[in-house]
Amino acid sequence: MRKDLIFDTHAHYDDEQFDSDREELLAGFPEKGIGRVVNVGSTLASCGKCLELAEGYEHVCAAVGVHPSETEPLNEENFETLRQQSLHPKCVAIGEIGLDYYWPEPGEDVQKKWFARQLELAREVGKPVIIHSREACKDTLDILRAENAGEVGGVIHCYSYSKETAGEYLELGFYFGIGGVLTFKNARRLVEAVEYLPMDRIVIETDSPYLAPEPNRGKRNSSLNLPYVVERLAKLKGISEEEVRRITWENGCRLFRMTS
């Protein structure tokens, strides 16, 4: 019934850039074509806000997790808080978690430790993972394989690696988060990967407030920009925009184990 709407599988509406109009924006989504949003945690502090937002709106769900660049303050005590938060009925995934070697801090060992630990948490609570992986392609794959993450399932958010690497994540059973970058003029490598990917493994995301698509590149992003991504994806795949919305909606529901 709602499959003509768009499922935004990755956004950060807890970000201060939305302080002035957050409620109005979120409340208006269903009538503007955005049927579901997963608001994704990135710091310990943001996870509580993600759950609060999810409690406030039927069409908003949460993911709780700590971004690799934010893992330094993690310890056994606050990890227990994260574990409790992950049990919330509106928490549909653990994320975003992973490795980010673009930023030198915290060191690789700290990032790897908490990546593996959060993968274990996902297994324990039976929820999929949202992976952030930047300039850490090999280590991400190694850890996902070592932890049998295929059994946990999840999505590679803002997919940015090659078509060849996409094949390896496909084998693990992962989904691919595709957003505004697809519309950028220098997106040749991503276009190649998307052409290669089967449509049933692609989900749509914004990463709001970041990564607004053309023609709004550089501005604050919101889910309302997703029709530009749908349009580009439809052209690349040679299918209608309606089909893109329907298929990516179903994929999002399968990924997060929600009823459609």
Query: Rounded to 5 degrees, what angle do the CA atoms 10, 16, 21 make?
Result: 85
Pick 14 or 147: Cβ nearer Ni ion: 14
> In angstroms, what is the minimal distance from the CB of 76 to Ni ion?
26
Distance of closest approach, residue 199 Cβ to Ni ion, in angstroms: 23
Instruction: Indicate the residue among 184 and 260 with the shorter CB distance to Ni ion.
Output: 184
CB of 68 to Ni ion, least distance (A): 11
CA dihedral 32, 38, 43, 48 (to 10 degrees): 90
Nearer to Ni ion, 14 or 207 (CB): 207
Give me the residues that bind Ni ion (CB under 5 A), please: 207
Closest CB 70 distance from Ni ion, rounded Å: 11
Cα separation, 67 vs 143, in Å, equals 16
Query: CB-wise, 67 or 232, nearer to Ni ion?
Result: 67
**Residues 214 and 193: beta-carbon distance below 8 Å:** no
What gap in Å lies between CA 91 and CA 73, rounded to an integer?
22
Q: Which residue is nearest to Ni ion (CB)?
A: 207
- C-beta closer to Ni ion: residue 153 or 179: 179
Specify whether the CB–CB gap between 73 and 81 falls below 8 A: no
Cis amide prior to 215 (ω within 30 degrees): yes
- How far apart are alpha carbons 69 and 208 in whole angstroms? 18
Locate the DSSP E strands across 85-232: 91-100, 129-134, 154-156, 175-178, 202-204
Output 35 or 98, the one with its CB closest to Ni ion: 98
